[in-house]
């Protein structure tokens, strides 16, 4: 077997605002594997590095990709325990290759175009008026669940925005999830959660910064809004540590991004452990291109999900990879009549 990788820069159509800053571009990497006897047929996966968030965001990232490509050629295993996004890319490339190099990682109803995944509409941070307009657009497009990024602009304005939305859309008409990305502090979090609770909020992701287990446990215990962990899970791969975190914090939900949480294998482990504590959850993308999103959607289908997932990110980029993925109202689906159009990547073997 041979392997190569390529760097690719995705350009956002609109600036993507979070409490950690505004995103205009996102670098990602693609990994392909093939048999030397038939180089035109290859499996491809996305190593969806997320700068500033991924635990594997360091100077050794590309050297690790080079090491992986060398080792695949030699038939030697590579230690990827600390490189979650590379693990995700390798898993998906192998699965694609094993399923006939058709961009099919899991040959199921989604891949065949016979199943649609319910998704939430993502509303990035902006001014109050901008966010209200974006919410209206999502509702007009058919979304019944929206996720609001909060924690960057004035909290009073955010409350005014949510109040305005609730005056137009009741809790039965529109479910609101909010994501603070760790934007609150232990000192102000309970006051803010109590105020948000007035507006029938479904859940809040990561209200305070990760790494404060005791404070987060207290928030989960006292919050009037169900709390979901997101960044808190990143970089934790040791099963004993995973179990300890869940036992200590006892969140209501966990939000899994396989690219950041040990790929499919690591995410499956999180789900199994969470189930032991009666903790629910859902899957979201880490802003992958359509290559990664396609693999995620096929994997999510194997989980037989019933609640909206965070997979509505395919239309974020000017230069996304043309694919069978499409969005119909608040569902992600795959149209087999639409093929893949992979650009000419600058492949690096080692």
Q: How far apart are the first and last CA of the chain?
A: 14
Phi, psi of 281 (to 5 degrees): 170, 180
Task: Show the 3-state SS of the chain.
Answer: CEEEEEEEEEEEEEEEEECCEEEEEEEEEEEEEECCCCCCCEEEEEECCCCCCCCCCCCCHHHHHHHHHHHHHHCCCCCCCCCHHHHHHHHHHHHHHHCCCCCCCCCCCCCCCCCCEEECEEECECCHHHHHHHHHHHHHCCCCEEEEECCCCCHHHHHHHHHHHHHHCCCCCCEEEEECCCEECCCCHHHHHHHHHHHCEEEEECCECCCCHHHHHHHHHHCCCCEEECHHHCCCCCHHHHHHHHHHHCCCEEEECCCCCCHHHHHHHHHHHHHHCCCEEEEECCCCCHHHHHHHHHHHHHCCCCCCEECCCCCCECCCCCCCEEEECCEEEECCCCCCCCCCCCCECC
Catalytic pick from 26, 64, 147, 257? 257
Q: 2: which strand partners?
A: 34
Q: How far apart are CA 236 and CA 240, in angstroms?
A: 10
Respond yes or no: is residue 149 known to be catalytic.
Answer: yes
Residue 200's Cβ-side half-sphere holds a number of Cα atoms within 13 Å equal to 14
Catalytic residue among 32, 147, 149, 209: 149
Tokens of 64: 């690790």
272 among known catalytic residues: no
**Catalytic annotation, residues:** 149, 257
């Amino acid at each position: 077997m041979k392997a190569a990788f390529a760097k690719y820069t995705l350009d956002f159509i609109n600036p993507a605002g979070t409490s950690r800053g505004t995103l205009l571009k996102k670098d990602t990497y693609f990994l392909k594997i093939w048999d030397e006897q038939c180089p035109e047929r290859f499996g491809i996966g996305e190593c969806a590095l997320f700068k500033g968030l991924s635990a594997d965001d360091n100077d050794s990232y590309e050297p690790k990709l080079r090491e992986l490509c060398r080792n695949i050629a030699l038939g030697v295993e590579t230690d990827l325990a600390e490189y979650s996004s590379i693990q995700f890319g390798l898993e998906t490339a192998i699965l694609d290759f094993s399923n006939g190099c058709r961009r099919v990682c899991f040959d199921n109803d989604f891949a065949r175009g016979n199943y649609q995944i319910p998704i939430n509409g993502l509303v990035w941070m902006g001014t109050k008026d901008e966010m209200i307009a974006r919410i209206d657009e999502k509702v007009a497009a058919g979304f019944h669940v929206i996720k609001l990024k909060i924690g960057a602009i004035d909290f009073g304005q955010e409350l005014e925005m949510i109040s305005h939305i609730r005056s137009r859309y009741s809790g039965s008409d529109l479910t609101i999830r909010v994501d603070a990305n760790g934007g609150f502090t232990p000192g102000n979090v309970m006051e803010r959660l109590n105020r948000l609770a007035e507006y029938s909020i479904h859940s809040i992701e990561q209200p305070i910064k990760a790494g404060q287990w005791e404070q987060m446990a207290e928030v989960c215990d006292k919050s009037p809004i169900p709390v979901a962990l997101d960044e808190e899970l990143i970089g934790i791969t040791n099963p004993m540590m995973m179990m300890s975190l869940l036992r200590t914090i006892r969140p209501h939900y966990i939000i899994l991004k396989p690219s950041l949480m040990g790929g499919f294998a690591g995410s499956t482990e999180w789900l199994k452990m969470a189930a032991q504590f009666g903790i629910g959850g859902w899957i979201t993308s880490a802003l992958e291109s359509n290559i990664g999103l396609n693999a995620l959607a096929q994997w999510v289908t194997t989980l037989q999900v019933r609640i909206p997932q965070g997979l509505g990110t395919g239309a974020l980029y000017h230069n996304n990879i043309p694919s069978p993925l499409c969005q119909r109202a608040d569902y992600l689906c795959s149209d087999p009549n639409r093929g893949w159009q992979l650009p000419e990547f600058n492949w690096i073997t080692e």
